[in-house]
């Protein structure tokens, strides 16, 4: 299940990665000798959402192996960030691997990633916002492997029980406030979501705010727009019509929705897999998030396909990535475990095949991608900790602290 939560600070070499460039290139400029054999053995390391994703990647790797003559072994990480950091430090990384957006810049700055974007002839077919997220020093380093956005999921039985119809799906913040109030009764909270930027950030975006400027060179966290977004969330929390998942004894919004403790939640397209697996009898609808003062807004998430700079199979690794990120393969992954294609052209085909995912697909047009600055993962971790007390805290203070911490990360990361 993909909750896309902030990742905890890494240990050992991982903690040194952003600060010192601990990686395959640390302390040496020597290029790894490349294997030129006709048949090569590649390893792929993934952080999986479950058996369906694991099997889908293995099937895709097997198809590439059959076509290329190379051997591909897919391994599932127990702790992706820690295992990658240790493998980079030991100069024995997997050839191809998932790279989370919050660690991307750390790895890129440390020289651990082989930048292969210039070898992708149709790179422009991938979402611009995600290409930006996985670029470093102006170069596309690795391809976004899929895409996810956030939308509003509604428990339709609770919705009808409150006397609401489809016409009442909220279009604005004020609409959201009214229906959340109406739905909060009999042990049910109108809106429940996680206490983190990766959910609450949609309100900042809808107010016209962002964490940084588009180039990610300047912090814009303490803006009037971001304050307005958090103040709106705070007003819902104070009214009791919105609660965080932990407050209703659940781990995430999907669980709160499935257990009938939430009438609405804000979640990504991974919700579909979680609901069908854990709460198959719960009826729900997914609709666009309501617009704020600046219009519609959501957040976009992805990992990318990394190729190790220390790999002896870089050319073969890039060819494998081309196969894994092809239009056909992206559609297969979408059908297998619920992600959306990161290719713009393929997303249209996906939308035709998955009409229930329309709100998530349409969200791509007004989504804000993740910040990928070396060391910024720690900044977000602190921001998320501060957001836990948003109900009683001062949003201006929270954002001022974020601004200061972010400026320090940018100074070190660029």
Check whether 25 has a pLDDT greater than 70. Answer: no
Question: In the predicted model, is pLDDT for residue 414 greater than 80?
Answer: no
pLDDT per residue as tens digits for the range 165-218: 999 999 999 999 999 999 999 999 999 999 999 999 999 999 999 999 988 899
What is the reported pLDDT for 9?
35
Extract the runs of DSSP E, i.e. beta strands, from 50-172: 71-76, 96-100, 135-136, 139-140, 143-144, 148-155
CA distance 155 to 234: 23
Phi-psi region of 251 (alpha: psi -120 to 50; beta: other; left: phi over 0): alpha
Closest CA to 71 of 54, 58, 80, 55: 58
Q: Where are the beta strands (DSSP E) in 101-246?
A: 135-136, 139-140, 143-144, 148-155, 189-193, 242-244
What is the predicted pLDDT for the residue at 128? 86
Average pLDDT over residues 57-75: 97
Q: What is the largest CA-CA distance in the chain?
A: 69
Note the pLDDT tens digit of each residue in 233-263: 999 999 999 999 999 999 999 999 999 999 9
Alpha carbons 317 and 228: distance in angstroms, whole number: 46
Residue 97: is its pLDDT beyond 70?
yes
pLDDT of residue 15: 41
The percentage of residues in the chain with a pLDDT greater than 90, rounded to a whole number, is 81
Say yes or no to pLDDT of 272 above 90.
Answer: no
The pLDDT tens digits for 322-371 are: 999 999 999 999 988 888 999 999 998 999 999 999 999 999 999 999 99
Question: What is the per-residue pLDDT for 14?
Answer: 41
Structure tokens at 71: 């051997």
Average pLDDT, the chain: 91
**What is the per-residue pLDDT across 80-96, written as a single tens digit (0 to 9) for each?**
999 999 999 999 999 99
Which residues make beta-bridge pairs with 98? 305
Look up residue 391 and give its DSSP letter: T
């Amino acid at each position: 299940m993909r909750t896309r939560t902030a990742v905890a600070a890494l240990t050992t070499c991982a903690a040194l990665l952003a600060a010192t460039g601990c990686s395959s290139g640390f302390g040496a400029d020597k290029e790894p000798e490349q294997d030129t054999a006709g048949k090569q053995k590649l390893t792929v390391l993934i952080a999986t959402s479950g058996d369906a994703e694991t099997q889908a990647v293995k099937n895709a790797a097997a198809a590439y192996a059959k076509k290329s003559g190379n051997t591909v072994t897919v391994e599932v990480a127990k702790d992706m960030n820690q295992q990658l950091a240790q493998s980079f430090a030991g100069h024995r990384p997997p050839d191809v691997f998932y790279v989370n957006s919050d660690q991307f810049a750390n790895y890129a700055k440390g020289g651990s990633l082989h930048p292969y974007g210039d070898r992708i002839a149709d790179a422009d077919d991938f979402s611009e916002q995600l290409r930006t997220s996985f670029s470093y020093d102006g170069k596309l380093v690795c391809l976004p492997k899929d895409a996810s956005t956030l939308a509003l999921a509604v428990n339709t039985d609770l919705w009808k029980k409150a006397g609401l119809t489809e016409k009442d799906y909220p279009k604005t913040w004020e609409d959201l406030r009214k229906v959340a109030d109406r739905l909060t009764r009999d042990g049910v909270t109108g809106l429940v979501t996680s206490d983190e930027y990766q959910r609450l950030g949609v309100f900042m975006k809808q107010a016209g705010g962002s964490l940084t400027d588009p180039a990610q060179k300047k912090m814009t966290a303490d803006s009037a727009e971001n304050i307005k977004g958090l103040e709106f969330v705070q007003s819902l929390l104070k009214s009791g019509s919105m609660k965080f998942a932990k407050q209703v004894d659940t781990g995430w919004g999907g669980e709160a929705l499935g257990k009938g403790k939430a009438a609405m939640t804000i979640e990504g397209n991974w919700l579909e897999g979680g609901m069908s697996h854990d709460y198959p009898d719960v009826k729900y609808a997914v609709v666009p998030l309501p617009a704020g003062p600046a219009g519609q807004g959501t957040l976009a998430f992805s990992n990318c396909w990394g190729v190790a700079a220390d790999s002896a199979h870089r050319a073969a690794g890039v060819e494998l990535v081309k196969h894994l990120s092809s239009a056909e393969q992206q559609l297969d992954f979408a059908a297998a475990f619920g992600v959306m294609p990161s290719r713009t052209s393929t997303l249209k085909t996906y939308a035709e095949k998955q009409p229930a995912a329309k709100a998530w697909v349409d969200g791509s047009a007004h989504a804000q991608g993740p910040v990928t600055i070396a060391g910024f993962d720690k900044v977000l971790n602190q921001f998320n900790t501060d957001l836990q007390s948003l109900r009683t805290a001062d949003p201006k203070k929270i954002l001022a602290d974020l601004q200061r911490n972010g400026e320090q990360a940018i100074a070190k990361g660029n």
